[in-house]
A and B are shown apart, each in its own frame.
Chain A
Amino acid sequence: MTPKVLEHLKTDEFAVKFGFISNPAAVRRLLLKSNEIADVRRALNQGEISEGSVRTFVNDLVKDFRSGEHFPHDSALSAIAVSLEYRATPFADEFINDLASLRIAELGHSVHIARECKKNRKHLSRTTTKYFILKSKPFEKNGLRFEEFIVPSNPGTLTKNYVVNDYQFGKAA
């Protein structure tokens, strides 16, 4: 079941509130001040809804896409973009960047609003993280002796990458 705060974004009542303004920057500002966006942000912050449920909601919206017809949930997409704008998460990046890069006539304001959001996200501090396993002593693995090596790895799959990358980055003696 779609959470109430998201479901409301699909309503005509919500769409007509912002539909008459043509300037994407102005729509974004209005959305930022709206109670509906505040509710979605609060729900995300407090864990009432997850980014996963937002993704599911968006996937459901996209099912109503028809080529050559105006997309009926354009306002909802705009609202999601503005709701995610301040979040420094991979999902927020993916959603806003993907929407901002679209060039299809069926979508109206949402693409332009996503571009506004993308511009404003430049103010967010961003983080690049890399993982390395270091060994200064000779080390044996899979029958190979490694004199020294650096293994970049992902935190969740440390063991898997450790083995795979031995061959790529290690120096076999």
Chain B
Amino acid sequence: MPSFEYFLVAESASIDQLSNRISLFHVLEEFKIPEFPFNIHKLVAVSSWNWEEGDDEVDFQSMVSVSVPGKEEPTIVTTNFQMDCERRRVLNYFFDLDLECPGELKFELLLNGESQAHHVVSVKEIDSAEL
């Protein structure tokens, strides 16, 4: 099974075609929101995995569980991949995420059903005068 390297949620990510290097832009830590409901147009959850002995030609499934404040059930998305390389990045873009109330927006990363990491974003309500 590949070993976990990192997991982050950011506003956007970019991979340079020339150098194959990844850049993450505006890693998310908190949202300060003057009025709910609030729609997050786009964000990206990025995970990175390292090849381990025995990983060749094996299918792996990464899952990102998104827990939205005020919503009981998390939304889970899955991505299948193979470790046909020394390092595999998985980019999951999310569009149109609605926030109804303040709290913790939690992203949990799982590999083949086992929890590997999480990234929590604080969702705070602020007075619009503070903006």
- Determine the chain B residues whose CB is within 8 A of the CB of A132 once the complex forms: 77, 92-95
**Does B37 interact with chain A (Cβ within 8 Å)?**
yes
CA–CA, A148 and B75, complex, Å: 9
Bound form: Cα–Cα A131–B71 in Å: 22
Contact A130–B79 (Cβ < 8 Å): yes
Whether A130 contacts B91 by the Cβ 8 Å rule is yes
**Within the complex, what minimum Cβ distance (angstroms) separates A103 from chain B?**
20
Residues of B within 8 A of A155 (CB): 93
Q: Which of B51-83 contact A (CB under 8 A)?
A: 51, 66, 68, 71, 75, 77, 79, 81
Which residues of chain A in 113-172 are interfacial with respect to chain B, using CB atoms and an 8 Å cutoff?
121-137, 148, 150, 152-153, 155, 158
* Contact assessment for B86 and A133 in the assembled complex, using a CB-CB cutoff below 8 Å: no
Q: Are B93 and A88 in contact (CB under 8 A)?
A: no
Q: Which of B17, B68, B87, B96 contacts A87 (CB 8 A)?
A: B17
Task: Check if B131 is an interface residue, CB within 8 A of chain A.
Answer: no
**When chains A and B are docked, how far (Å) is the Cα of A36 from the Cα of B46?**
38
- Given the complex, which residues of B lie within 8 Å of A34, measured CB to CB? none
A89 CB–B CB distance under 8 Å:
yes
Closest to B81 in A: A128
Interface size class on chain B is 20 to 34
List B contacts of A124 (CB < 8 A): 20, 85-86
Q: Is A101 an interface residue (CB 8 A)?
A: no
Whether the pair A125, B86 counts as a contact (CB closer than 8 A) is yes
B97 CB-CB contact with A under 8 Å:
yes
Having A87-B17, A129-B93, A134-B94, one finds 17 other A-B pairs with CB under 8 Å, namely A122-B84, A123-B86, A125-B89, A130-B77, A130-B90, A131-B95, A132-B77, A132-B93, A133-B96, A134-B66, A134-B98, A135-B96, A136-B68, A136-B71, A136-B75, A137-B37, A153-B95
Across the A-B interface, the 7 shortest Cβ-Cβ residue pairs: A126-B85, A125-B87, A129-B91, A88-B20, A127-B89, A131-B93, A136-B98
Q: B residues engaging A (CB < 8 A)? A: 15, 17-18, 20, 22, 37, 51, 66, 68, 71, 75, 77, 79, 81, 84-98, 100
30 contacts between A and B (CB under 8 A): A87-B17, A88-B17, A121-B85, A125-B20, A125-B22, A125-B88, A125-B89, A126-B85, A126-B87, A127-B89, A127-B90, A128-B91, A129-B91, A129-B92, A130-B77, A130-B93, A131-B92, A131-B93, A131-B95, A132-B77, A132-B93, A132-B95, A133-B95, A133-B96, A134-B75, A134-B96, A134-B97, A135-B98, A136-B71, A150-B77
